[in-house]
Structures are given as C-alpha cells and as structure tokens.
C-alpha cells in the first residue's frame, strides 16, 4: 500500500536522532485507523483497525511473539 498524504506519522523520541535510521512510525490521526510504516521503507504502509491494533499491542505486551 502506498502512503496516504493524510497520515501524520510520528516516531519515538529516540528515533528522532539522525543516527538512528530504522524505526517504526505510527499514525493515528484518521478515525478508526492506525497506520504503521518503517523509516527504511516509508512507501510501505500497513493499516489496522483500532481493534486490530489493540489486539496486536496486547499480544506483543504479553510476550506472544517473543523468540
């Protein structure tokens, strides 16, 4: 999917350092949508519903994807 001009992506403070070039960016400015992209591939955007995002972040927090 190509980045939509109406997404307002943000990244964590640590990723604002010019020496850090591999960060996730998240946009929550569109109602009902959470968009995620990588600073290495800003043209690739993954969109989640708010419910899907909540499920994903809960699973990550619970260690469901730990190696």
Strands, E assignment, 1-67: 24-27, 33-38, 41-49
Instruction: Write down the pLDDT at residue 43.
Output: 92
Q: Is the pTM of this model over 0.75?
A: yes
Q: What does the pLDDT look like over 3-37, one tens digit per residue?
A: 556 899 998 887 877 777 788 999 999 999 999 99
Instruction: Write down the pLDDT at residue 17.
Output: 75
Residue-range domain boundaries for the chain: 13-61
Distances (CA, A) of 61 to 15, 32, 40: 20, 22, 24
Top pLDDT among 31 and 67 is at 31
Alpha helices in the chain (DSSP H): 50-61
Top pLDDT among 61 and 18 is at 61
């Amino acid at each position: 999917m190509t980045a939509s001009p109406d997404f307002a992506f943000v990244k964590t403070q640590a990723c604002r350092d010019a020496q850090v070039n591999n960060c996730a960016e998240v946009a929550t400015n569109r109602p009902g949508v959470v968009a995620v992209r990588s600073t290495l591939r800003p043209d690739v955007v993954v969109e989640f519903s708010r419910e899907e995002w909540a499920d994903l972040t809960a699973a990550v927090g619970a260690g469901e994807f730990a190696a």
